[in-house]
Amino acid sequence: MENKNFKPYIPADRVTPEITITSIVMGILLAVIFGAANAYLGLRVGMTVSASIPAAVIAMGVIRVIMKKNSILESNIVQTVGSAGESVAAGAIFTLPALFLWAAEGTMEKPGILEITLIALLGGLLGVFFMVPLRNALIVKEHGVLPYPEGTACAEVLLAGEEGGANASTVFAGMGFAALFKFIIDGLKAVPGEIALKFKGYAGEIGTQIYPAVMSVGYICGPRISSYMFAGGVLSWMVLIPMIVLFGKEIVLYPGTESIGEMFASGGASAIWGSYIRYIGAGALAAGGIISLIKSLPLIVRTFKDALKGIGGAGNGGASRTEKDLSMKTVLIAIAVLTILVWLVPAIPVSLLGAVIVVVFGFFFATVSSRMVGLVGSSNNPVSGMAIATLLISTLILKLTGDGGAHGMQGAIAIGSIICIVAAISGDTSQDLKTGYLLGATPKKQQIGEIIGVVAAALAIGGTLYLLDSAWGFGTDELAAPQATLMKMIIEGVMDANLPWGLVLIGVFIAIIVEIVGIPVLPFAIGIYLPVHLNACIMVGGLVRLVMDKLKREKAQKDAMINDGILFCSGMIAGEGIVGIALALLAVFGVDKVINISGLLNLTPMVSNILSVVVFALVILSVLKFSLWKKRKPLDK
């Protein structure tokens, strides 16, 4: 399978700077920034975006344009370290907020920052070390077979270094615009962040948020995924909620404590969504995750067998610079030490045998994740399905061995977190190693870079979660934490058997129907689970991308426009995430009330909605300004 004629951009016999003080400092900074921004985004919308390309663009802009250094491999180390932050954040926010939700209910104490850091660190390091022996099998021998779309795209961005300054300015412009819009909407509260349309005599509700980051998710994901999410939102808010209100006005239905009619009268459609639709969405999400895992089983088994066959040639020091991995001795010792730490860390209540099982599961899912992202890209990697399967098995094992209650639930979520982070990091590491393979990087140095990025992100994620929880709390309108709430429901359902199974099963069978008619289940299920206003905002971003896709332009010109839009939107996600973290800090200290000018303006609902529409229009126009209407060199055409 290996392409013997492949020649990397930097030849193996040429040594250029890679791990330098500049690349490490910049990488750590980006790991923390993109990790915090993706944590904020994932807790709001239930999905994260890859940080590799924006990190690569910023690296090129700083190293090549500002510092006047011609060092593509140094820029590659920056994106390698920086993208690790996003992956650690993704794995952590899908699971660990469940511990905060239980603490808010009084079930258990809030986890300490050290606990969170250790869980993130163990999962992240295991993910990196598991990928080392797989590199030869998946990246080298399967070159030309596994495309690794994000890794290849990142290499192309770095190779287009002549435009590094222009591309980097697009990312920074996105950060600046989104920071300004976010501060106006959620800092000053000069305009509402949501536009809602209600119907007289009908319990349905439709509307949209106006946040730059949410719209950017739609642009990056594209119109297809956006439309699936929006369809799920329309089903829940325009069909299921009106049906529940229509048929159940006088009924008190568990888990509600008052009649559905009274609930709707006091809280509107949002109250019905919070009490009932979230369970239907959870059922659909769980079924979607398991369906995606089952569909992938033949590939999973084949991948695991192929990867194990190819491990023999890994970590042998290599004859040349571009073949050198971390030594297998180092990797095996590290995995053994991490296994013992999984056993000894108090936050993870497992025996030594349990720790070994966790590590075996982790290696299995790391192998699966690395191969899957090579085929379908990171965004389609069924990480949530792997986490759900792990949680179900680990919760059952803990319950059957007599470890129930709060202690068992804490252990199950810790185990699930480690596996989730392992899967996320191993996928990210494989994409980064593919980028390095194409450029001619030294694998060992990239692997060291991944370890540095994991450590930096793990040290930051605990503080980020504490800050966001203190400001708004998880499971609220500001931070729905959909994936973590789902994991919490699954563990409680196994441990206590107290879930409203009727609602959950409705969601399960909706997911099965959706799968039968050929619609991707997970985006549709996320759409059911999340508020329709958020899905509609994502849909607007998808529609902007659709317009760009349909433009009649030369391919090179159209690709440049779409790519600039993606870079600008990536910057907007980072910018809004940074300001979101800053506003959380202000909220903790009570400064948010001082800068709130909504009371001074005292706008009528109609004027507020008009202003919100104007601000949202400006957000959309800013994307078009830096993509469709951006001035380019004649060579781009």
556 C-beta neighbours (distance < 10 Å), count: 11
Q: Does pLDDT of 336 surpass 90?
A: yes
Q: Does pLDDT of 344 surpass 60?
A: yes
| Residue in 158, 137, 135, 119 with CA at minimum distance from that of residue 303 | 137
Summary count for the chain: helices (H), strands (E): 27, 2
| Residue 2 confidence (pLDDT) | 45
588 C-beta neighbours (distance < 10 Å), count: 15
Distance CA 249, CA 262 (A): 8
3-state secondary structure of 253: coil
What are 206's strand-pairing partners? 197
Q: Does pLDDT of 31 surpass 60?
A: yes
| Residue 477 confidence (pLDDT) | 77
Which has more confidence, 20 or 315? 20
| Residue in 383, 371, 340 with CA at minimum distance from that of residue 125 | 340
Segment 491-521, tens digit of pLDDT: 888 887 777 888 989 999 999 999 999 998 8
Distance CA 510, CA 489 (A): 18
Using the structure block, give the residue that is written with the tokens 């985006």.
523
Which has more confidence, 246 or 389? 246
- Contacts of residue 559, Cβ cutoff 8 Å, sequence gap at least 6: none
Using the structure block, give the residue that is written with the tokens 């790391």.
366
Which has more confidence, 624 or 290? 624
| Residue in 85, 111, 117 with CA at minimum distance from that of residue 98 | 111
| Residue in 189, 231, 237, 271 with CA at minimum distance from that of residue 525 | 231
Percentage of the chain modeled with pLDDT above 90: 36
Using the structure block, give the residue that is written with the tokens 């536009």.
195
The beta strands (E) that lie in 162-253 are given as 194-199, 202-209
Helix or strand (DSSP H, E) at 202: strand 202-209
Using the structure block, give the residue that is written with the tokens 């993910």.
127
pTM: 0.78
What are 99's strand-pairing partners? none
Phi, psi of 172 (to 5 degrees): -65, -35
Which has more confidence, 123 or 314? 123
What are 202's strand-pairing partners? 199
Tokens (6 digits) for 169: 């300015």
Q: How confident is the model at residue 581 (pLDDT cuts 50, 70, 90)?
A: confident
What are 194's strand-pairing partners? 209
Q: How far is C-alpha 563 from the chain's CA centre?
A: 20
